Amino acid sequence: MDLIRESGVSLRGKLAAGEITAEALVQAYLARIDEVDGEIGAWAHLDPDHALAQARTLDQLRGRGLPLGPLHGLPVAVKDIVDTADLPTENGSALLRGRRPETDATLVSLLRQAGAVVLGKSVTTEFAMYAPGKTANPHHLKHTPGGSSSGSAAAVAAGMAPLAIASQTNGSVIRPASFCGVVGFKPSHGRISRHGVLTLSRPLDTMGVMATTVEDAALLAEVLMAYDSSDRDMRPLPAPGLLDVAREAPPLPPRFAFVKTPVWEQAEDDMTAALSELADHLGADCERVDLPALYDRALPSHRSIMCADLAKNLQPYYERGREGISPQLAALIEEGRSVTAIDYNRALEWREVLYDGLAEIFENFDAILTAPAPGEAPSGLEATGNPAFCTMWTFLGTPAVSLPVFTGSSGLPMGVQLVGPRSEDARLLRSASALLALLRDGGTA
């Protein structure tokens, strides 16, 4: 039985039924890591003995007939900006080499409570920004996997983990998911706790997940959407029921607004052709919608907020070890120092103005359909690719999902990005499932 080829939902059922043990499953993934990670480099920290010990404990709980959590026995890769008390958390920086947090981040506590095995820490770019880590794209080792959630995307794409934790401050979930050919889900801002996670920008930082299926992404994200008063952007909302809703057939076929966004000229021919063909394939269920020129404000407003917050939140590292910070990050911090309070607050105001302007689209369509990246993963490991196609949706705090639908002219995967209204994460995942089912049943566009 090739366990690593099965979905997380399928594996969960077999674990619950006693058809496989958590130890056997973790061992299968460790064998896969041993086989392929030498070339890919998706893991920042891996302790096989500790992973197996977690699995054995879970098997003992099941053997005693105790209740099982919704992620019982499933291995999860955790991005190395998320604190783990039993593994290092170095934020992708040499300045923090050997850092050992005393406590788990809230989301890690939720993983453990749900019965997950923290398999290891996946590679992040430096401080989850632009300077790449060691990870290569599993589909072509000379191409970037994207960033900053490089290791999470690569680990799932290469069959080294069924599920992974990621984060996005600009394009760090959706872009690597597209480049690596996996499902990447960035929930609405403020739906998953960031307590115990590296802070870059409170208005922008959003935790997300990677998986091979929409159902798996829904399963993992649902566990993490528990209210945490330690995160000031969270609200005590009811559980969203992501998995059940993602599995439902929508009452009517979903309608999509094909939106090109203000950076469309940066899209490559492969992506523009694929999305246009998909829109044509969907016919009356997809309508092209143009955004007014006002939306040109989104990217510069996002940049003002991001750079100013980087200058504030990473200032201690900059002062302590300027020579240990990449030129890319140092330049962003220095740019952030020049952002005035007036510019920062105006940028925050634009966020609400531009989001309110999408109301008519979301009244008439189930989701926006757009590009997640310019095209295929670029060649070279010196950069992680252009995040511009994700920036506006991060800035506006909307949920987004990248689906592995296309293959580019070089044979590398490309995704399609769906975007929904804030707080309607479950509906977005249901629309994503419906789109994939349509393409599966009717032939890909």
Residue boundaries of the structural domains of the chain: 3-247
Task: Give CA–CA dist 173/159, Å, rounded.
Answer: 18
Task: Give CA–CA dist 102/85, Å, rounded.
Answer: 5
- The residues annotated as belonging to the active site are 79, 148, 172
| Cα–Cα separations (whole angstroms), residue 308 to 91, 179, 335 | 19, 29, 8
Residue 64 is inside which H or E element, if any?
none
Question: What is the CATH number that goes with domain 3-247?
Answer: 3.90.1300.10
Residue 75 is inside which H or E element, if any?
strand 75-79
Q: What is the DSSP letter of 140?
A: B
Q: What is the pLDDT of residue 239?
A: 84
CA end-to-end span of the chain: 33
Q: What is the pLDDT of residue 441?
A: 85
Over residues 97-134, the pLDDT tens digits come to 999 999 999 999 999 999 999 999 999 999 999 999 99
Mean pLDDT, the chain, rounded, equals 97
54: its two tokens: 């977690």
Least confident of 25-34, 144-153, 268-277, 315-324: 315-324
Q: What is the pLDDT of residue 51?
A: 98
Over residues 11-65, the pLDDT tens digits come to 999 999 999 999 999 999 999 999 999 999 999 999 999 999 999 999 999 999 9
As a whole number of Å, the CA-based R_g of the chain is 20
Q: What is the pLDDT of residue 1?
A: 52
The model carries a pTM of 0.98
Contact 115, 68 (CB under 8 A): yes
Q: Does the pLDDT of residue 321 top 80, yes or no?
A: no
